[in-house]
Amino acid sequence: MPLFDIQISQDEPVYVISVVSKLVGLPVWTLRQLDKAGIVCPKRIGKKSRLYSLRDIRKLEYVHYLMEEKGVNIKGVKMILEIETKT
C-alpha cells in the first residue's frame, strides 16, 4: 500500500468546524462565537461552511487554554490577543 507524503501549508483552510471542535476541545457554538467576535476567522465556503487552517487551530488551542485554564471570557481573549499582537 503506497504512502503519500502530503504537504499542507499552515494557512491552507482544510478543516471543517466539527473536526476542529474535536481537535481543540471547544464546542461548535463557541467556535461560531469566536468567529463572530473576530478572534479566529475561518475561510467561508458558501454561506454556512467554515474551513480552518492549521494556523487557526494552533490559535484556537491557545484560546482554549485561556478560556478553560485561566477562566477568560471571549471579550477578554480578544483583548489579550490584541495586546500580544501589538507587542
- 78 part of a folded domain: yes
The Cα–Cα gap between 65 and 53 comes to 19
- 5 part of a folded domain: no
Residues written for the chain: 87
At residue 3 the predicted structure's pLDDT band, cuts being 50, 70 and 90, is confident
Residue 29 is part of which domain span?
15-86
Q: Is 50 helix (H, G, I), strand (E, B) or coil?
A: strand
- 38 part of a folded domain: yes
The Cα–Cα gap between 5 and 67 comes to 35
- 19 part of a folded domain: yes
CATH number at 77 reads: 1.10.1660.10
pLDDT at 87 over 80: no
Domain tally, the chain: 1
Q: Which residues contact 76 (CB under 8 A, 6 or more apart)?
A: 66
CB 40 within 8 A of CB 63: yes
CB 60 within 8 A of CB 34: yes
Q: What is the pLDDT of residues 12-70, one digit of tens each?
A: 999 999 999 999 999 999 999 999 999 999 999 988 899 999 999 999 999 999 999 99
pTM score, whole prediction: 0.88
